Structure 1
Amino acid sequence: MPRTRPVADSTALHRRSLLAVTGAVALSAGAGYALRSGGGQAVAADAGADGTVLTSSRQAPAAPLAPYTRGTTVAGMSVPRGGRAAGYRRLDEGPGWERVVRGELAGARSGREDRRTTLAAFVQLTDLHVIDAQHPLRLEYLRSADVHAWRPHEALTVHGAVSLVERINALRGAPVTGSPLHFAMTTGDNTDNNTRSELDWFLTALSGGRITPNSGDPRHYEGVQNSGLRQYWQPDSTTRDADKQLGFPHLDGFLAAAVREVNSPGLNLPWYSTVGNHDTMPLGCYASHGDPYLTELAVGGRKLMELGAAEAKKLQQTIRKATDPRGVQYAAFLASQARAMRSVTADEARAPFTPAEYVEAHLDPAYRGSGPVGHGYSAANLDAGTQYYAFRVSDDVIGISLDTTDPGGHYAGSVGTAQLRWLERTLRTHKGDRAIVFSHHTSESMTNTHRDPARPDERRHDGKELVELLGAHRNVVAWVNGHIHRNAVTAHTGSAGSFWEISTASHVDFPQLARVIELVDNKDGTLSLFTTLVESAAPSRTDYGDLTQTGLAALYRELSCNAPGARTDLGGTPQDRNTELLLKA
């Protein structure tokens, strides 16, 4: 495996990264290049003269570079005032999390801080769950059986996503090495309900532009939060609903503010996209594309908002047990509830999108932003009907984005044989490169082997098999994913090599984090992966009188902290947060 050139300064950049920063590589701004899904050939037109395929990075100060921790959870983070017994809790800025060195896969050697060379630095965003909160097919009514089935802050997901974009744009370098950040990767569940409105909002938030997070009636909100139903937080009303009894505030004008136009600057570095189950299937679990009844309900003028606890529990168990992966029973259930549905304004923008339409939207020039064109996806994906690809990060590093969603239905994941063989072929072809693998699902959440309706004869492979494959290739250094909404870092040792699985918390559930990851060569026979968590740019403290875009982003975080039934372990342990993860080189 090739080694990087000796560089004296400990925070120096890898040669190719430095060329990209200074403009010495002939690349157009924001260009990025994917490796064709069938093998290792470049797809993009802007490859360098030597045939390499590279992402470009933002402009950065010349080396030597200094660590940049401002805005990261090393410097500080939002914490609730008072204990859980205090009821509804306001947030304030608290101390940061210390960095933990983990040596399960290689020992830490002294002096490495003065020898290290940066190979890659990037940001992972995951589980943004951009939500069309007024969509007729949402499952809010399950709250009668499970209080966590609906979140009081769901109308503010766009505001939270844009504030996270603002935070990433404000990072002037990587937290440990000071390296420029080369790209960002979203690892799935970018949307929540496989609806075109959400896809447009997500792509605009990351690429830049104006978003009106409203569907149905353009004049006002129509949904559970102005329904008068006491099981939902009614922010504009004085109704003593269940959440206000827990301390949630009465906020005049909240819903009108929530559906006002939001302006996103877009990420100022190249970004790539990985698909999640909520991006692939309605409700994140039903293989029901083409069902005319469900499509009619999605775009139509009827919405179910309340359901008895017994019926809600029965439907929830059906979803969890995956006994209805095609949504047949779900459609029958909705038909039985037709008289209980309320009238809302119909909207074609709420239609579901197919996997091909998901790729096409990424390829749309309107969503290019800082690039690359397609954000990893290419015409080759459309031709092959796939949503996986590889791309080059630098001379010695490649990225591989997998599709772990199961088109046969259910929210757990798996991969088909064709993709597994492609992955093995890609790793073998690029055995001289370090490889960072991205997916939505974690190894433990890949337990779903429903057959793909489009490929009924193809076997599906679970997380254990994927771990075995990655461990059989010495060049794999990390598998970066999401789905579980919790920070978790796991060491894996395989037949030929070892790698770290890095799972990051969602941006819809508190503590609403993204992660910066830096890969460095310590020049002593070891590599280090530094992971550093970041919050959005919204202030920790909220002001109930501030219903601006920024004020709502701060409120989004506070409400998520107080969501009834919300788990308190999603931040993970210190070993899952800000870390140095050592590997043998």
Structure 2
Amino acid sequence: MAGIASTTDRRRFLLSSGAAVVAVGAAYVLPGQRSSAHPVAGPAPGDTGAAPARPAVKRAAPYGATTLQTTARLTGSGGYRHLVSGPGWPLVVRGELAAARRGREDRRAALACFVQFTDLHVADVQSPLRTEYLRAGSPGSWRGQEALSVAGAVSLVEQVNALGGGPHTGRLPAFVMSTGDNMDNNSMVELEWFLTLMSGGRITPNTGDPAAYEGVQNCGLPLYWHPDAGLRDQDKLRGMPRIPGYLEAAIRPVTSPGLRIPWYSTPGNHDDLPGGCLAPQDPFLSDYVTGARKLFSVPDADVAAFNKVQESGDDPKSTVLKEILRHNARRARTVTADPRRRLATPHDYLRAHLDPAYAGAGPIGHGYTENHLDGDRMYYTFRIADGVVGISMDTTYRSGHFEGSLGAGQLRWLERTLAAHSARHYDADGRLVRNPAADDAHVLVFSHHHSPSMTRRPDAARTDEIRHDGAEVIELLSRFPNVVAWINGHSHVNRITPHAHPVPARSFWEVNTASHVDYPQHARLLELVDNQDGTLSLFTTLVESAAPHRADFGDLSAVGLASLYRELAYNAPGLAVGMGSGVHEEMAGTAADRNTELLVRRG
């Protein structure tokens, strides 16, 4: 949902908080269109050994490739620019926290290899509760590509299945961790799509009328891009194409092969809250989202009023939005009601993850157990590899805000969990504490929010609990020398930050990865190695989806839609002026935020 934008461009707001060939495709083909080939079998679940040779395929990169080999690049000029396959990005060695010693390449021992997804934003774009009309105040408040989120995410799953061993260890990825905003509107139907996407099965990305699209892209208002129509909307005036059949293709079924390796899930604000920022389980909003009325435009004064409270976060009960919906009721258009759009509670979210129908390659629950249903807790630990432990945190507010925090109870749990895996650590006063009975391990921490987006804002849903911000989490993690990295999302930006400490072994890295809905649509492949010299290296390699870089407007198969999904994201308002633009550079990150070797002293 585009509901967290302010009067500034949505991407600027997020930043402030911190050759065309047929590729793999496992989906429908429209009549008269090209069929994609069947996917190549990938590694068996849990296989963490050296990668076997993949069968030769005739699909060009990015299928099976990383951004070390090739990346999408804009070409040409004008209002709409195609993508082509460009050269890869280099590996950047970062030694801010530990010196890079010669000969480590010959000494290093592989410890772990896995993939991070983040901010998939699998979206029901026809939901009555979406606020696309905020685009009147900022063109970037609505995404023209988001109707293709399912096809784009399926292509990312296919890419992980096609990857061989990690480029620095040769190990096959052992699992995928999705660090939140897995869905967009906090609805049950999106949760079903996300779980099916990850575990395998058929998805029909359509709600309401089963035979027609009922969203903003055929509403006749020039505020939105109408891909099928000849309407000279504001996007076509700046060069966006006409693509007949686009909306029909966007709502047809697509089949996900499912990940062939285990996967885990961390919650984000869009998984807990409608649109990532609205009051959860509000009776009025709950009725509205499943109902038969949808607003496509509102007066400019309402746009400004809603943006103001969203930026300030001072409306946890969504009073302003509810009033906008009420007094613009006559403007609303009739759509088909759909009970599947029911808002998901935290209990719903947990229970769905525990459903064996969505086990896929495992584990059942994807990090959660039946015990988490007691109190609807969404944080846990899991074994990454021998001697490596993962900790998944729940950083979301449950009362209606897109910022993050940790409650006092979870912070105490985090401290106890870290201590249980640390033979030595430091207390809050800086005194060394030894624990010979601890299961000493390297620790990787996962969350949705990154440290700049975590505040001490009170949570109206948990008024009896003190909240803790990103600085406090950094302080806690730095007390444990075995913490290697904190891996997160939310910002839609690639950014890697060293958190240095006067005691070098207490330093760690924060790895923040861009989204898969906005430019540049990246996931990360991470490899942890022991350099056998008192240091560890965490390699971070960005990965694109398996779809061809250049989109073909005549190919509306699932593969073609996935290519369009990426190319449209690169041409979004404010981004289509090339890689030299400030927003492009910020969201993709510098070379030091992309493909890196991050050195850290071993605790």
Q: Report the TM range for the smaller structure's normalisation.
A: 0.7 to 0.9
- What is the match of residue 77 of structure 1? 71
Please name the residue that 1:89 is paired with: 81
Residues 412-441 of structure 1: CA distance to partner in whole angstroms, max 9, x if unpaired?
A: 000101100000000000111100000000
Q: Matches of 1:333 and 1:111 in 2, distance apart?
A: 64
Gap change, CA 1:254 and 1:391, over 3 Å in 2 = same
Match of 1:35 in 2: none
1:556 corresponds, among 565, 583, 588, to 565
Q: Which residue does the alignment assign to 2:528? A: 519
Post-superposition Cα deviations, 1:509-555, rounded to whole Å, max 9, x if no partner, equal: 11100000111000011100000000000000111110000000000
Q: TM-score, normalised by structure 1?
A: 0.88
Partner of 2:199: 207
Equivalent residue in structure 1 for 2:492, among 485, 489, 495: 485
Question: Residue type of the partner of 1:222?
Answer: E
Structure 1 counterpart of 2:465, which letter? E
Match in the other structure for 1:574:
591
* Aligned-residue offset at 1:564: 1.2
Counterpart among 361, 368, 374 of residue 383 in structure 1: 374
The one of 335, 338, 360 equivalent to 1:347 is 338
User: CA offsets per residue over residues 438-478 of structure 1, 9 Å max, x none?
Assistant: 0000001102522252x321100000000000001111000
Query: Is 1:449 the counterpart of 2:466 in the alignment?
Result: no
Corresponding residue for 1:116? Answer: 108
The SS at the match of 1:444 is helix
Following the alignment from structure 1 to structure 2, what is the Cα–Cα distance between the partners of residues 550 and 371?
Answer: 26
Q: 2:580 — aligned with what?
A: none
Corresponding position of 1:5: none
- The alignment status of 1:337 with 2:328, answered yes or no, reads yes
Distance 2:557 2:459 in 1: 47
Aligned to 2:137: 145
Deviations 1:14-33 (A, max 9, x none): xxxxxxxxxxxxxxx85xxx
Write out per-residue CA displacement over residues 55-87 of structure 1, whole angstroms, 9 at most, x where no aligned residue: x33675479xxxx9951000001110036xx32
Distance 1:538 1:518, change over 3 A: same
Q: Give the corresponding residue for 1:279.
A: 271
Aligned to 1:473: 480
Matched to 2:352, the amino acid is: A
Question: 1: distance between equivalents of 2:102 and 2:51?
Answer: 28
Cα distance in 1 for partners of 2:333, 2:52 equals: 60
Q: Deviations over 1:262-300 (max 9, x none)?
A: 0100011000000000000011012331x2211111000
Counterpart position of 1:133: 125
Corresponding residue of 2:38? none
**Residues 1:361 and 1:166: Cα distance change in structure 2 (over 3 Å):** same
Alpha-carbon distance between aligned partners in 1 of 2:323 and 2:496, rounded to the nearest angstrom:
41
Output one character per residue of 1:200-224: Cα deviation in whole Å (capped at 9) or x when no partner.
1111111100000000000010010
In 2: Cα distance, 1:487 partner to 1:525 partner = 28
Counterparts of 2:139 and 2:368 in 1: how far apart (Å)?
38
- Aligned counterpart, 2:600: 583
Structure 1 unmatched runs, 5+: 1-28, 31-55
Alpha-carbon distance in structure 1 between the residues aligned to 2:221 and 2:485: 47
Q: Equivalent residue of 1:466, what SS?
A: helix
Q: 1:545 aligns with which of 551, 554, 560?
A: 554
Give the corresponding residue for 1:14. none
- Separation in 2 of the partners of 1:368 and 1:59? 23
CA deviation after TM superposition for structure 1 residue 366, in Å: 1.1
CA distance in 2, matches of 1:552, 1:448: 41
Distance 1:175 1:282 in 2: 39
| Aligned pairs (5 A) from 1:242-391 | 242-289=234-281, 291-391=282-382
SS of the residue corresponding to residue 376 of structure 1 reads coil
- Of 416, 421, 429, which residue of structure 1 is paired with 2:420? 429
Whole-angstrom CA distance in 2 between matches of 1:450 and 1:125: 29
Q: Retained in 2: the 8 A contact 1:130–1:190?
A: yes
Is the CA contact 1:527–1:583 (under 8 Å) kept in the aligned structure 2?
A: yes
User: In structure 2, how many angstroms separate the alpha carbons of the residues matched to 1:298 and 1:287?
Assistant: 13
Distance 1:156 1:560 in 2: 11
Secondary structure of the 2:234 match is coil
How far the C-alpha of 1:326 sits from its partner, in A, is 1.9
Distance 2:415 2:97 in 1: 23
- Residues 388, 401 of structure 1: 8 Å contact kept: yes
> Kindly tell me: are residues 513 and 61 of structure 1, through their superposed partners in 2, closer, same or farther at Cα, counting changes over 3 Å?
closer
Q: After TM superposition, where is structure 1 displaced by more than 6 Å over at least 4 residues in a row?
A: none
Question: CA–CA distance in 2 between the matches of 1:564 and 1:241?
Answer: 13
CA distance in 1, matches of 2:100, 2:460: 45
- Picking from 520, 543, 558, the partner of 1:534 is 543
Q: 2:447 aligns with which of 439, 451, 464?
A: 439
Q: Are residues 214 and 58 of structure 1, via their aligned partners in 2, closer, same or farther at CA, if it must alter by over 3 Å? A: farther
How far apart, CA to CA, are the structure 2 residues paired with 1:202 and 1:395? 29
Q: Deviations over 1:289-332 (max 9, x none)?
A: 1x221111100000000122232122111111111012123212
Change (3 A) 1:311 1:287: closer
Task: Output the amino acid matched with 1:80.
Answer: L
Aligned residue type for 1:555:
L
- Within a 5 Å distance, the mapping from 1:155-234 to structure 2 comes to 155-234=147-226
CA change 1:62–1:510 in 2 (3 A) is: closer
Partners of 1:138 and 1:235 in 2: CA distance: 20
| TM-score, structure 2 as length reference | 0.85
What letter corresponds to residue 252 of structure 2 in structure 1? R
AA paired with 1:359?
L
Whether the 8 Å CA contact 2:63–2:545 is kept in 1: the answer is no
Kept after mapping to 1: 8 A contact 2:126/2:215: yes
Superimposed CA distance per residue, residues 176-215 of structure 1 (whole angstroms, 9 cap, x where no aligned partner): 1111211110000000110111111111111100000000
Q: Count matched residues.
A: 524
Q: Secondary structure at the match of 2:365?
A: helix
For structure 2, which runs of at least 5 residues remain unmatched after alignment? 1-43, 54-61, 423-439, 576-582
Q: Tell me the distance in 2 between the aligned counterparts of 1:521 and 1:452.
A: 44
Are the counterparts in 1 of residues 63 and 546 from structure 2 also a CA contact under 8 Å?
no
Per the alignment, do residues 60 and 584 of structure 1 end up closer, same or farther by CA in structure 2, a change over 3 Å counting?
A: closer
- Which of 99, 102, 105 is the aligned partner of 2:97? 105
The CA distance in 2 between the partners of 1:305 and 1:69, in whole Å, is 38
1:374-404 per-position Cα deviation (integer Å, ceiling 9, x unaligned): 0001111111321000001122100000000
Shift in alpha-carbon separation, 1:328–1:309, aligned structure 2, 3 A: closer
User: In structure 2, what residue type is equivalent to 1:382?
Assistant: L
State the partner residue of 1:417.
408
